[in-house]
Structures are given as structure tokens and as C-alpha cells.
Structure 1
């Protein structure tokens, strides 16, 4: 890149810890080599007193922070926020999270997709009554209703003693899990949609199918930084289930994630890297 090119300023909050793990020295150094400045934001201070920013990576939740982002958008509408709080909120709830999947209007050829049968169980309800009502079958997987990263329990639980859980059928005989990471700017100029990680050795789903599903989810949710967990039903080798969608996942697990995000940052700043 030309030495005269202006810096692209990317702001990120000093917390939570996941963001700190993402901002590795290797990413900071590679970004600087390409005129990208990663700026730490103090969320306790007004954003107007910090920056200026071309883009802000958003991984904080709460009304105070959301209000700050709202004020920033009013006074500096050209600053790109990745991602908007209202878009993130949808996938912090495990019910609305998978509702997005069921509403996708994608052409399904040989490969089809869906979500496991699930139901929210409230304190006043009897789980055994619900099993017959909605067609759930044991064994069941129970998860907290909120997926906000503050704690997660997954596995077989004594469900009669817990409440406010999402209960879903375990997909019988599923033999593999694929984690699909997505990082894509709004104009699709640069993207990363790696890595597919198998829990057990099994045949991978067709890449075109996974890419189309990733694109459909991105457009439906309005998110640019997320991953989704995809499992294959061994009873139907062409049937896949989306079981979780996670905002701002562990991108450091991706090979050469630094290069991926240098390209991503350029796209979000509305710039393209110049040839040396």
C-alpha cells in the first residue's frame, strides 16, 4: 500500500475478554503495515471524545453502550458499526436465533436444511406434558434461553428442576459438526467464510451449499461477524440442521485470520488495498 495512504481507524471496546483475545499483537502489527490503526475504546467515556473512527467493532451489550452508538450514528453517520445492536439482539435469544433459519427462502437442491424440534420450557410448565404435545423425544438437550456468552450449559439435565430453558431434540445419529465462520463486509468486496471444523471424521457438506446458507443467514440477520454450527443427520445424508448461531466467534482459530481481517477492515472502511 502507498505510504501516503491515510490510516483506516478501527475502534474496539476494551472489554469483554473475547475482544481482547481477538486483538492479538500479530493482528495489530499486520494491520499497521497496511495503514490500519486499531484503537482501543474506553466504554465508560463518551465515544465523541474518542477516535475519530472509520469503523467500530461492537461486542458490548447494554443500554448505555447502545445509546452511545446511537449518538455516534446521529453525529457521525459515516462511521460503520459492526454490528448494529438491534441485529445482534436477535441471536442472543435461542428462539429468535433459529427462527431466522426457518424463514430463509433459499433454493434447496440435493442438500436441505432446517432446525431441530425445540420448545421453551417455563417454570410453571410440566415438561412431560410438553413432550407429547410438541413431539419431543428423549434424549433431550437443554440450553439457557439467552445466548449472551455469560455462561452456557449443554447436555442432558434433570429438566423437571429447571426453567426458562430451550429444550430441543438431540439429532439422532448425527455424525459430524461443521463450524462455519463468516466475516463479510456490507458490499461483499471482501470476505472470509472459513473454517469448516469436523468434530468427527465425516464427509463434508458441499461448499456451495454451505456458502449459500452463510450468505442467506448474513442477509436475513444483517450481521457481518458470526458463525453457525451445522450438523448432518446420518439418517439422511443430505439433511443438515443449524443448531446454533454465534455472534463474534473465536476468529483466532481461523488459519491466517490476520490477513482475512485486514481485507475485511479495508472493505468496511470503504477502501481497497493498493498494489505496491
Structure 2
């Protein structure tokens, strides 16, 4: 089985979700080849993880990237094309699938390959149900960030540079100007520790305890939609269906009831600690550790104990 991985980059850095695709290839027991576009340093980084890399310095936007990927798919003829489930890939994946007449499955969180039958698992209905999909023939797959572990360094598999001629009519849209929103830079997707606060924190002053605990743990602050809408913290921190999908090693939910809209964005976390005064709160159904009590009493004690532990 052959797999083609599109490795997405952000300036000079390889996106963590793209690196996880290398582990997804192992789950498929497939022979993988990675495609890196426009960033030679990133191509070298990926090759050092033990997977051969094709480097093409031709694409700069969605239209040209679609052309490059389409040509690479024709040349490599893979059984599956894997992309991280990013905004860009959600745009590109269905285009590639349509051009090459392939199946397309988005937001995949699990892959199994048994007796030559590949099953893709993805959440539906806001994460309340998992569906298992078998694609007839070849497929384009986008994989949710945090679904697989990041690969370890291996023997360098090398980089092959290729050229793809992009016809002028391939570009359907032209960017004439770009306006960058001035906002706080929050990297929730890459965070190893996230401390999130919800409506149960009560007010903006109480929410500062969430920020303090995150700071003590060296983590990032997350929030539910009600906390965002009440103005306690910027929208860049939102976790959930209408925010960011995260999968840290540790997720601490403070005053969060556990509505589907939020849990669908953090249920992939390795270890979940939930603090809520309602013992019947849905968040406890997915938590590894549940603390029933007033978050305003528990958080100061946690912060104090964490500070002591760090001081030792």
C-alpha cells in the first residue's frame, strides 16, 4: 500500500499535525512518501524522520497547490493521500479527490488496516457518535490534529527536488491584498498543557485563576464560548466546535459543564482533569480525574501546590 503525505508548513516551521501523518502511515502499514512545497528547510526536517520527501518549489496559494498535488498524485499513484485537517487542507482535499475521482473522508481520528481492509474513524454529530468508513478504491483523507503521536528521528530518507509547470489558467483567484488581523498569538493546537475555563468561573476576575494555573504549569489558556462571549478572554483561546480542536497531554477543565460543542474539540486529550461543583456534569464522563467542588476553592489550592512542587 502506498501513501502520499502532504506536509504543511507555517513560514519556516512544519505543522505538528502534518508530522503526525508519518505515524498515521505506520498505522496503515503503508509505504509513505511526503510532499513538501516551497520550504526546503522543512523538507530536510521531514526527511530526517525517516520518510522520503519530494520537494517542489512552485505553489504559493490554494490554486497552485491544488495543481501541484494533483500532478504528484498522478505521478505517484498512491492508494491514499493524507493531509492534516487544517483550513488549507479542507479546501484542497476535495479538489484533489474530485480531479482524480477518489473518495474523500475528513476529520479522521483513527485508522485501522486489517486483512487489506482500511477503516477510517471520524466523529459526527458534534462528537457524540463515531462512524467507521470504508472507502471503495483510493481515497483522500484529512486527519485531525492530535490523533496520532509525533514521529521520532530516524535515518535520513533524503529529499528529491522536482518541478511542476503550472499553467496560467490553473489560477482561478488572485490575491490583490491581504489584511492581517492584529490579535493575540495563541498556539492551542501545539500546546502540551491547556487549562480552560468556562461559565462556571463566574466573572473575569475569577477567570484570572485559570490564567495563573496555566502560567504555573507552563501551559496555554483555553476557554469555552460563553467565557469568550462574556469578554473574559479573546476568541483566540476558544476550544470547541466553533474554536480550536486540541489534543494536549494534559487538559484541565475549570467550571466547564461539558457541552458537546466544547468536548468535541478536546476529547482527544491524553489526560483530562475536570473541576465542577455539579457531580452530574457531562464533563465527568470523559474525564480521567474528576474533582467535585467549588472551582474558586480548588484552583487556589492547586496553584499553591504546583508552585511548591516546582520549587523543589
- The two structures have a TM-score, normalised by structure 2, of 0.30
- The two structures have a TM-score, normalised by structure 1, of 0.32
